[in-house]
Amino acid sequence: MADFEPKIVAFVCNWCTYAGADLTGTSRIKYATNVRIIRFPCTGRIDYMLLLKAFDEGADGIIVSGCHPNDCHYTSGNFHARRRWIMFRELCDFVGIDINRVLFSWVSAAEGSKWADVVNTTVTRIRELGPYTEYQKVAKHPIREVTNG
Amino acid sequence: MDELRKRAKELLESKTISVVIGYEEGTCNRTRALFVEKPEEASKLIFDSRCVLNLATYITKQEVKAKGKMAIAATIPVMRSIIQLAYEFQVSDKNLLVLGITPESNLMEFKDLLEVETYIHKFEIEINASYREKLDKLAGMTQTERWKFWIDELSPCFKCYACRAACPMCYCHRCTVDFNQPQWIPVPSHELGNLEWHIMRAVHLMGRCIDCDGCANACPLGIPINLLNKRLLEDAKRHFGGYQPVLKGDHLMSTFKPDDKENFIR
Amino acid sequence: MSKIGVFVCHCGENISATVDCAKVAETAAGYDGVVYSIDYKYMCSDPGQSLIKSAIIEKGLTGVVVASCSPRMHEPTFRKACAEAGLNPYMCEMANLREHCSWVHEKGDATTEKAIDLVRILVEKVKKNHSLNAIKVPVTKTALVIGGGIAGIQASLDIANSGHKVILIERDPSIGGHMSQLSETFPTLDCSQCILTPRMVEVAQHENITLYTYAELESLEGFVGNFKAKIRRKSKSLDEKICTGCGQCTTKCPVKKIPSEFNEGLGKRTAIYVPFPQAVPNKPVIDRVNCTYYIKGKCKVCEIVCPTKAIRFDQEDTIVEAEVGAIVVATGFTVKQPDFFPEYGFGKYPDVITGLQFERLASASGPTLGEIRRPSDGKVPEKIVFIACAGSRDPAKGIPYCSKICCMYIAKHAMLYQHKVHGGKSYVFYMDIRAGGKMYEEFVRRAIEDDGVNYIRGRVSRIYEKNGKLIVKGADTLLGAMPVDIDADMVVLATAGIANEGSEELAQKLHTSYDSYHFFSEAHPKLKPVETNTAGIFLAGACQSPKDIPESVAMASGAAVKVACLFSQDELTREPLIAVVNRQAAPVFSSCVGCFLCVSACPYQAIEKEEIKNRTGEVIKTIAKVNPGLCQGCGTCVAFCRTKSIDIQGYTHEEMYSEVMALLNEY
């Protein structure tokens, strides 16, 4: 377990968090290498099914991040997303998905250091939690292995 | 329910209605849906405490709609479903007459859906004590225990989709579970695919489920999938003040408030 | 079968210092569908771009992944390069190896591995990408300007002078707005009407401007370039074509005691009236609420005296339908009335007036012909108190914002008073003096230093009447909150500037957003100050927040340029990254079941109903349709749709799903 490198997927919006992560880069702030960013137009576009798919495919942690309330490029995409996450998170908790592995944040285009902090916090947390074997064990069901070739 | 039989007969005789949807005696002391098209068959209609099937499921079906104007014997959960379906433009006064059945088993015919809406708003959607106990028990478990509970419960599910068929809200022509580009839900029925299927269904029913228990009653394996919906009903209440089916107004999940409260977003 | 080219950029050493670019290119070459993979020093340079272009042509690439800097930096560059080589620009994606990898991680295997992953994600996405074409929307080159104050006038003139048609609608019987009520303007003290009325006349005479006064927007449909507006022209009870504006009717009208709106209630008008002598158009309207004929059914004096027989008692409101391509909202603002202030007597003291009323007193065309006389008894006030921030900057009153113009007009008022009432004493109670603007601070200093206005930094707690004087109880915070009592003859409240009545309703008709104070919301507080969130609708003047004349005019010209830009082409070109509802063969037509829950999820009201009809015209199915003119491509509907019937071009279900799969599946 000592050499466990968490796999973390970040679903971010194009206008705030993606730009904020760009700023982290231009500011040369260092953070953990474990995160892979996937760009969406808006947090409103982020499909909850993709979160499940990420866990299916072996992610140990997920970051979902977008514009702060009132800052959405599309006025209200993040508000819609927030309401969905509130409900979806309850549902995940209820079915026993480890919601500590999903970190939601608002990172604006000006918050380069916050992005680094969000990533590092998540990596530290997931390192403590360990690999998400509980989920992966179910995901690696033999029937699935066969059908997926 | 002589009243219901009499009224159904009248409606069919006067040809104001083409089909009356109600219950009839089934096999093994169970009841089943009945579609009365001839006045003389109205005598087959029954109503008693065994009639829990949500008949609203049928009013969105093309083959039923095609018969012409429908009348439906509707208990309160059925009426709730009807209002939600009307909100979603699936039925309207034009093609549906509601023959309400009050909790005291009296017939109560409604002039239009607006009256139905007013009537059902007198009754809160409430989760009964035995389910409440189950929900509390699950809430008291650790995350791993809950995970185990659901994986165990869902592992025998073989995706017969009886839950979907029984649900009046599952009227989509192409369910996302049948979507294969991409294949969101794995086809084979193993725990993960089953779990994802039921999560997806629960999400799709957020703000729409009216707690009729049709899905759980339909499940041949007795999986308590309605617990998911009940929990979400509770969550909707806790976070957003709950919901009631309405003919016009905001839908829980397609609207928001700028000050929606959460405590988990950094 | 996809033929993907991967181009890994070193960015000098920006990427290659920590990422093994050669290894990234080499690994990518091994992926399914990748037929060409190369690393190069500067991909954005001319030779770099040529490398991409020649590879597209020589290898017949169907997709390109450029692994370099952020797409927010160079996506347009590389997409253009691809287009030049004949590849659809939307078949080019960028992996962000610089901002998201090389700059934020130390040199090492983990960093290179991440770079490889980032490239793989985009390779898989590009495989699922579709060629997209820019969307063309036709443009109706007529603008609708709502509101005929200075902002609306300026916007109309600027648009009209750039050669486009303008329809200007104004709620009141005359254009001119608040500016026409002002006496003199800061910081130059030039006469407001002298500079405004020529503009008003220009509007009326401009061949490109159609002016509808006494008219309001009834409804609006459509989208940028293609709006359909319904305008309600309220009945003036007058045939404007025949009326010569001779004024016989207004002189003879027996109902003479109606408080004049133009004079802020300080003067009177008749039931058939022209708001002010310089009104444009200078033709009367009948105020049906106060007209004896409409109340009692007889009188008709105006009809009898009218030499051209222009009065039409039975005239009804008419609805004008207009097709317009852009809209400028310039509906202005209003001010809080003294009855809002319990501490200042709820408006029961006639000599406690608003700043706007003071303007009318000081105006040469006003009820006192420019002499400062108090409303109660017409006496010239010997002591006058001005109170700044009456309501403004007061969260307890629900107006936490600064109304911005008051500090300046108070200085002007005090100055005008001192000029007109020799030996009079004037006092100003203020919180801060906000005089940011060209020659503004100097203007305030002039009031204090040259004209001897007494500025007292403090708030007024109460005003009450005693022996015919208004006792103003305040404090001077610069003297240790020392109580100051002034026995004034008149008090002028600089009441807060607030959103105009009906602004919320208008915003809803226009489908634009408004803030919590009911002012119209701009699309971006810094970079899009005149745009709204609805494409094709622009803002000018104080409807967005209180502002002074030069700012309103500048904003109006800004909005006019935005309109002119829109009208500079026959068709609008928009990025095709918008949502689309799927269509399938009959009898399904679409997987959309028409629940229309997406309609309220859309921030842009872009989702409409589409009826699918059979050959006899019977509606078979009703499904959702995304209006490409309105959709901005946020994708909120996409994640919301249960049946996944809506997809967003450029971020489709398949594309995003492939990205997730590519990211985590080991190769």
DSSP string, B33-89: EEEE-SGGGGGG-B-STT--S-GGGGGG-HHHHTTSSEEEEE-HHHHHHHHHHHHTT
Provide the ipTM.
0.94
> Rounded CA gap, B165 and B60, in Å?
12
> Rounded CA gap, B204 and B208, in Å?
8
Instruction: Supply the pLDDT for residue B141.
Output: 95
Nearest chain A alpha carbon to B186: A144
C97 touches chain A (CB under 8 A): no
Instruction: Supply the pLDDT for residue A102.
Output: 96
pLDDT tens-digit readout, C88-113: 999 999 999 999 999 999 999 999 99
Residues B138, B235 share a domain:
yes
Last residue of a domain, one of B120, B147, B180: B120
> Rounded CA gap, B23 and B52, in Å?
9
Please check whether residue B254 lies inside any domain of the structure. no
Segment C26-41 shows an average pLDDT of 95
Q: Which residues from A are below 8 Å from C113, CB to CB? A: 33
Name the band, by pLDDT with cuts 50, 70 and 90, for residue C616. Answer: very high
Is the pLDDT score of A96 beyond 70?
yes
What is the total count of domains within chain B? 2
| Secondary structure (H, E, C), C597-641 | CHHHHCCCCCEEEEEEECCCCCEEEEEEEECCCCCCCCCHHHHHC
CA distances from C50 to C21, C33, C34, C82, C228 (A): 19, 22, 19, 10, 47
Place of tokens 């089916």: B245
Name the band, by pLDDT with cuts 50, 70 and 90, for residue C515. Answer: confident
Residue C529, Cβ density class (10 Å: 0-12 exposed, 13-18 middle, ≥19 buried):
middle
Chain Cα centroid distance, residue B117 = 16
pLDDT tens-digit readout, C627-652: 988 888 999 999 999 999 999 999 99
Given a cut of 70, the residues of chain B with pLDDT beneath it are none
User: Which of B192, B203, B262 lies closest to A139 in CB terms?
Assistant: B192
Residues B154, B107 share a domain:
no
Residues B229, B160 share a domain:
yes
Q: Residue C576: CB partners within 8 Å, gap ≥ 6?
A: C90, C132, C133, C134, C135, C649, C650
Please check whether residue A49 lies inside any domain of the structure. yes
Q: Which residues from A are below 8 Å from C661, CB to CB? A: 53, 57
Instruction: Supply the pLDDT for residue A3.
Output: 78
> Rounded CA gap, C519 and C331, in Å?
10
Per DSSP, which regions of C508-666 are E strands? 537-539, 571-574, 579-581, 607-613, 619-626, 646-648
A132 touches chain B (CB under 8 A): no
Please check whether residue B112 lies inside any domain of the structure. yes
**Residue (of B23, B24, B22, B20) closest to B8 by Cα position:** B20
Instruction: Supply the pLDDT for residue C667.
Output: 44
Percent of chain A at pLDDT exceeding 70? 93
Mean pLDDT, chain C, rounded, equals 94
Percent helix, strand, coil in chain A, to 5, is 50, 15, 35
Residue C404 distance to chain A (closest CA, Å):
24
> Rounded CA gap, C275 and C264, in Å?
11
According to DSSP, the residues that pair with C96 across neighbouring strands are: C68
B to C CB pairs, distance under 8 Å: 49
CATH number where A91 lies: 3.40.50
Instruction: Supply the pLDDT for residue A149.
Output: 38
Chain Cα centroid distance, residue C633 = 21
Instruction: Supply the pLDDT for residue C1.
Output: 79
Residues B159, B65 share a domain:
no
pLDDT tens-digit readout, A56-77: 888 999 999 999 988 888 878 9
Q: Which residues from A are below 8 Å from B199, CB to CB? A: 52, 91-92, 95
Helix (H) or strand (E) holding C57: helix C46-59
Instruction: Supply the pLDDT for residue C666.
Output: 58
Please check whether residue B161 lies inside any domain of the structure. yes
Residues B133, B80 share a domain:
no
How many other C-beta atoms can be found within 10 angstroms of the C-beta atom of residue B248? 8
| Secondary structure (H, E, C), C90-156 | HHEEEEECHHHHHCCCCCCHHHHHHHHHHHHHHHHHHHHCCCCCCEEEECCCEEEEECCCHHHHHHH
**Residue (of A72, A67, A61) closest to A102 by Cα position:** A61
Instruction: Supply the pLDDT for residue A89.
Output: 96
Please check whether residue B166 lies inside any domain of the structure. yes
pLDDT tens-digit readout, C545-595: 999 999 999 999 999 999 999 999 999 888 899 999 999 888 889 999 999
Q: Does the predicted model carry a pTM greater than 0.80?
A: no
Residues of chain B that touch chain A, judged by Cβ-Cβ distance less than 8 Å? 138-139, 143-151, 184, 186-188, 190-193, 195-196, 198-200, 202-203, 206, 228, 231-232, 235-236, 239-240, 253-258, 260, 262, 264-266
Q: Do residues B224 and B135 make contact, with C-beta atoms less than 8 angstroms apart?
A: no
User: Which of A38, A42, A58 lies closest to C635 in CB terms?
Assistant: A42
Q: Do residues C474 and C482 make contact, with C-beta atoms less than 8 angstroms apart?
A: no
Is the pLDDT score of C665 beyond 80?
no
Please check whether residue A56 lies inside any domain of the structure. yes
Please check whether residue B251 lies inside any domain of the structure. no
Please check whether residue A69 lies inside any domain of the structure. yes
Residue C525, Cβ density class (10 Å: 0-12 exposed, 13-18 middle, ≥19 buried):
exposed
Using the 8-state DSSP alphabet, how is residue C568 labeled? T
The tokens describing C142, both together, are 């007529």
Cis geometry, peptide bond prior to residue B182 (ω within 30 degrees of 0)? yes
**Mutation site, A84, A94, A111, A121, interface B, largest B CB count within 10 A:** A94
Q: Residue A16: CB partners within 8 Å, gap ≥ 6?
A: A65, A66, A67, A68, A71, A72, A73, A106, A107, A108, A109
How many other C-beta atoms can be found within 10 angstroms of the C-beta atom of residue C300? 14
Mapped onto helix, strand or coil, the DSSP state of residue C161 is helix
Is the pLDDT score of A1 beyond 70?
no
pLDDT tens-digit readout, B90-127: 999 999 999 999 999 999 999 999 999 999 999 999 89
Residue C137 half-sphere exposure toward CB, CA atoms < 13 A? 24
Mean pLDDT, chain A, rounded, equals 90
Please check whether residue A3 lies inside any domain of the structure. no
Instruction: Supply the pLDDT for residue A137.
Output: 86
Residues B133, B116 share a domain:
no
Longest dimension (CA), chain B: 66
CA angle, B154 then B159 then B162, to 5°: 105
What is the total count of domains within chain A? 1
Please check whether residue A112 lies inside any domain of the structure. yes
How many other C-beta atoms can be found within 10 angstroms of the C-beta atom of residue C609? 12
Percent helix, strand, coil in chain B, to 5, is 45, 10, 45
Residue B52 distance to chain A (closest CA, Å):
27
Residues B134, B56 share a domain:
no
Segment C303-320 shows an average pLDDT of 95
The tokens describing C413, both together, are 């008022």
**Residue (of C346, C436, C338, C339) closest to C387 by Cα position:** C338
Are residues B173 and C591, on separate chains, in Cβ contact within 8 Å?
yes
A1 touches chain B (CB under 8 A): no
Q: Do residues A106 and B265 make contact, with C-beta atoms less than 8 angstroms apart?
A: yes
Is the pLDDT score of A139 beyond 90?
no
C118 touches chain A (CB under 8 A): yes
Is the pLDDT score of A146 beyond 60?
no
Are residues C651 and A33, on separate chains, in Cβ contact within 8 Å?
no
The tokens describing C538, both together, are 């622009």
Please check whether residue B23 lies inside any domain of the structure. yes
Residue B220 sits in which domain range? 129-240
Residue A96 sits in which domain range? 8-147
Please check whether residue A1 lies inside any domain of the structure. no
Are residues A96 and B186, on separate chains, in Cβ contact within 8 Å?
no
Q: Which residues from C are below 8 Å from B65, CB to CB? A: none
Please check whether residue A2 lies inside any domain of the structure. no
Instruction: Supply the pLDDT for residue B190.
Output: 82
DSSP string, A27-84: TT----TTEEEEEES-GGG--HHHHHHHHHTT-SEEEEEEPPTT--TTSSHHHHHHHH
Residues B161, B217 share a domain:
yes
Nearest chain C alpha carbon to B178: C643
Q: Which domains does chain C have, with CATH numbers?
A: 4-132 (3.40.50), 142-325+534-567 (3.50.50), 333-498 (3.50.50.60), 579-649 (3.30.70.3270)
Q: Which residues from C are below 8 Å from B246, CB to CB? A: none
Instruction: Supply the pLDDT for residue C260.
Output: 95
Long-range contacts of C110-117 (CB under 8 A, 24+ apart): C110/A5, C110/A33, C111/A33, C111/C18, C111/C19, C112/C19, C112/C20, C112/C23, C112/C24, C113/A33, C114/A33, C114/A36, C115/C15, C115/C19, C115/C20, C115/C21, C115/C24, C115/C67, C116/C23, C116/C24, C116/C27, C116/C28, C117/A36, C117/C663
Q: Do residues B213 and B227 make contact, with C-beta atoms less than 8 angstroms apart?
A: no
Mapped onto helix, strand or coil, the DSSP state of residue C229 is strand
Mapped onto helix, strand or coil, the DSSP state of residue C351 is coil
Helix (H) or strand (E) holding C516: none
